[in-house]
Amino acid sequence: MIEKLASLGHRGLLFFSLFGRSFILFLSTLFGFLYLFRRPNLLIKQLYAVGVLSFLIILVSGLFVGMVMGLQGYNTLVDFGAEESLGQVVALSLLRELGPVVGALLFAGRAGSALTAEIGLMKATEQLSGMEMMAINPVKQILAPRLLAGIISLPLLVAIFSMVGVLGGYFVGVDLLGVDAGAYWSQIQEKVDFQHDVMSGVIKSIVFGVVCTWIAIFEGYDCIPTSEGVSKATTNTVVFSALSVLGLDFLLTAVML
Amino acid sequence: MIFSGVDMDIPRGKITAIMGPSGTGKTTLLKLIGGQLKPEKGSIEVDGENIPKLSNKQLYNIRKQMGMLFQSGALLTDMNVFDNVAFPLREHTNLPESMIRDLVLVKLHTVGLRGARTLKPSQLSGGMARRVALARAMALDPSLIMYDEPFTGQDPISMGVLVKLIKRVNQLLGITSIIVSHDIHETLDIADKIYLISKGKIVGQGNSEELENSSSPWVKQFIHGYDDGPVPFHFSTDSLIDDLLEKQR
Name which residue leads in pLDDT, A250 or B8: A250
Q: What is the mean pLDDT of residues A153-165?
A: 96
pLDDT number for residue A67:
96
Q: Do B87 and A136 touch (CB under 8 A)?
A: yes
Spatial CA neighbour of B109 closest among B80, B83, B85, B76: B85
DSSP-derived pairing of the beta strands B49-50 and B66-69:
unpaired
pLDDT number for residue B221:
80
Residue pairs between chains A and B whose CB atoms are closer than 8 Å: 50
Q: Do B36 and A129 touch (CB under 8 A)?
A: yes
Q: What is the mean pLDDT of residues A205-229?
A: 95
Distance (Å) from the alpha carbon of A130 to chain B's nearest alpha carbon: 6
Residue of A nearest to B138 (CA): A134
DSSP label at B2? Answer: -
Spatial CA neighbour of A90 closest among A167, A160, A157: A167
Collapse the DSSP code of A165 into the 3-class scheme (helix H, G, I; strand E, B; otherwise coil) and give the result.
Answer: helix
pLDDT number for residue B248:
60
Taking the C-alpha atoms of residue B28 and residue B2, their distance in angstroms, rounded to an integer, is 9
Q: What is the mean pLDDT of residues A188-210?
A: 93
pLDDT number for residue A112:
96
Distance (Å) from the alpha carbon of B67 to chain A's nearest alpha carbon: 7
Position A257: which residue type?
Answer: L
Name which residue leads in pLDDT, B229 or A62: A62
Which residues in B lie closer than 8 A to residue A137 (C-beta atoms)? Answer: 60
pLDDT number for residue B28:
87
| A1: number of Cβ within 10 Å | 5
Helix (H) or strand (E) segment spanning residue B202: strand B201-206
pLDDT number for residue A231:
96
Q: What is the mean pLDDT of residues A138-163?
A: 95
Q: Do A134 and B70 touch (CB under 8 A)?
A: no
Q: Do B63 and A130 touch (CB under 8 A)?
A: no
DSSP-derived pairing of the beta strands B193-198 and B15-19:
parallel
Spatial CA neighbour of A57 closest among A125, A105, A119: A105
* Ranges under pLDDT 70 in chain B: 1, 247-249
User: Residues 103 to 122 of A: which have CB under 8 A from any B CB?
Assistant: 122
Q: What is the mean pLDDT of residues A163-174?
A: 95
Which residues in A lie closer than 8 A to residue B60 (C-beta atoms)? Answer: 135, 137
pTM: 0.86
Q: Do B77 and A125 touch (CB under 8 A)?
A: yes
Collapse the DSSP code of B125 into the 3-class scheme (helix H, G, I; strand E, B; otherwise coil) and give the result.
Answer: coil
Which residues in A lie closer than 8 A to residue B68 (C-beta atoms)? Answer: 130, 133
